[in-house]
Structure 1
Amino acid sequence: MTGRFITLEGGDGAGKTTQAALLTDWLEASGRTVVRTREPGGTDLGQRIREMVLHERGHVAPRAEALLYAADRAHHVETVVRPALERGEVVLQDRYIDSSVAYQGVARGLGADRIRSVSEWAADGLAPDLTVLLDLDVTVGRARVAAARGDTFDRLESEAAAFHETVRGAFLDAAAAEPARFLVVDASAPAEDVQRAVRTAVGALVGIPAPDPSAS
């Protein structure tokens, strides 16, 4: 595969959508072809799974939740991600295996190693070239979501603050365990400062000169 696979991780309200949009514009302006996608929901099947696991009210057993995410991942990687990488494109993805480990493996208590193993099997071993972790205080992130959408939270967003603190800790632990793969950015900084840090790391990966520090 000749393309590059970049994932964005972080808690709710960390700014993944904003940073992905800014990064996509920059990469495309630099002549790169970008496939911007997400999990769950990057395919028609994935969108149906997304509705089930995030937006349908009612209990979903934790193991069932984890397996639904894995099913989405298996289909998404085979039909969207790998073909794009084989074409030499940059895949920019909102959430991947690290989210499953943090949310289902650690916060749901299913076991980080077990969920990572299932997820890697579903993805047929595909690992990101770079993972950008947008780290943000849970209270700040929840306030951002509320400001954007009012009280409309999905199933995971509706979990208690302690759940989300556990998720944040799991992401930071993952970054500490694989420092060569992760870029950890303080997502409380202004969006343009966050983007500058992201562009520097992504530029080094895909062969684009680092941005001018005085540029936005």
Structure 2
Amino acid sequence: MNPRLSSDRGFGFFVSVDGPGGAGKTTIVRHLAQLLVAKGEHVHVTAEPSQGPIGTMAAQLTETVTGHALACLYAADRYHHVETEIQPLLTSGHVVVSDRYIASGLVVQRFDGVDPVFLWQLNEDVLQPDLTVILEADPNVIAQRLSERGPHNRFQLTKRSSHTEVEFYREATAHLVGAGFELFTVDCARQPPEQSASAICDRVMILLTQSRELV
């Protein structure tokens, strides 16, 4: 995994937010962006799969393409996403917040039985975030939320999918820590999304201030 060189980063900052389906990622990302804007930052919110051509294809094929093929498609979108959207904005000084990124790439295709070593190898050269946020929640709480809102993809139709996904994220988190990622975990089931976003914002501002002092 190649962290971004200081000469490439400008004054930008890259934060990714990942976690099990039903954990509230999109709502928390929205609140986080609002808080960062209020602090005077130029914020760009993005998501994966991206809105680019590969991401659009991946989203369309998620229900019908499986396993290694889908994992490769999502990884291709991730590299293209960085090259065409994320990196240019970081270079221009934006705070980029991505709803799903590497951690999701290490988790979702495991429902299709893809080896986590293979998933790591697919993603090992992608841009490392300045902060990787992992949302944690009681799988029973997540299961209830999914039951109320309905599944968003075929992976959430798997029996006890919430419990399995939580465990996959725990394993992915441990792997990312071992790989030297700056990790921040948030238990979003025990507090409202605004409070989770505030905690993430505080961490971002500390790291952002430190990074700017080094430039």
Bin for the TM-score computed over the shorter chain: 0.7 to 0.9
CA contact (8 A) 2:140 2:163 kept: no
- 1:121-153 deviation per Cα after TM superposition (whole angstroms, max 9, x unaligned): 4x3xx1011111110122311322343x3x353
**From 103, 106, 115, the counterpart of 2:119:** 115
Q: CA deviation at 1:44?
A: 4.5
- Find the counterpart in structure 1 of residue 173 from structure 2: 175
In the alignment, is residue 67 of structure 1 matched against residue 72 of structure 2? yes
CA distance in 2, matches of 1:28, 1:143: 33
- Find the counterpart in structure 2 of residue 157 from structure 1: 156
- Find the counterpart in structure 2 of residue 31 from structure 1: 40
In the alignment, is residue 46 of structure 1 matched against residue 50 of structure 2? no
Q: CA deviation at 1:173?
A: 2.7
CA contact (8 A) 2:16 2:129 kept: yes
CA distance in 1, matches of 2:206, 2:182: 13
- 1:85-128 deviation per Cα after TM superposition (whole angstroms, max 9, x unaligned): 11111110011111111222x4433222221111234x3xx101
- 1:53-78 deviation per Cα after TM superposition (whole angstroms, max 9, x unaligned): 1xx4xx42311111111121122111
Q: TM-score, normalised by structure 1?
A: 0.82
Pair 1:189–1:42, CA change in 2 (3 A): farther
Larger RCO: Structure 1 or Structure 2 (Cα < 8 Å, ≥ 6 residues apart)?
A: 2
- Find the counterpart in structure 2 of residue 94 from structure 1: 99
Could you tell me which runs of 5 or more consecutive residues in structure 2 were left unpaired when the two chains were aligned: 1-8, 211-215
In the alignment, is residue 194 of structure 1 matched against residue 175 of structure 2? no
Pair 1:190–1:20, CA change in 2 (3 A): same
CA contact (8 A) 2:66 2:112 kept: no
Q: TM-score, normalised by structure 2?
A: 0.82
Amino acid at match of 2:40: G
CA contact (8 A) 2:58 2:73 kept: yes
Could you tell me which runs of 5 or more consecutive residues in structure 1 were left unpaired when the two chains were aligned: 209-216
Q: What fraction of aligned residue pairs are identical, expressed as a percent? A: 34
CA contact (8 A) 2:54 2:73 kept: no
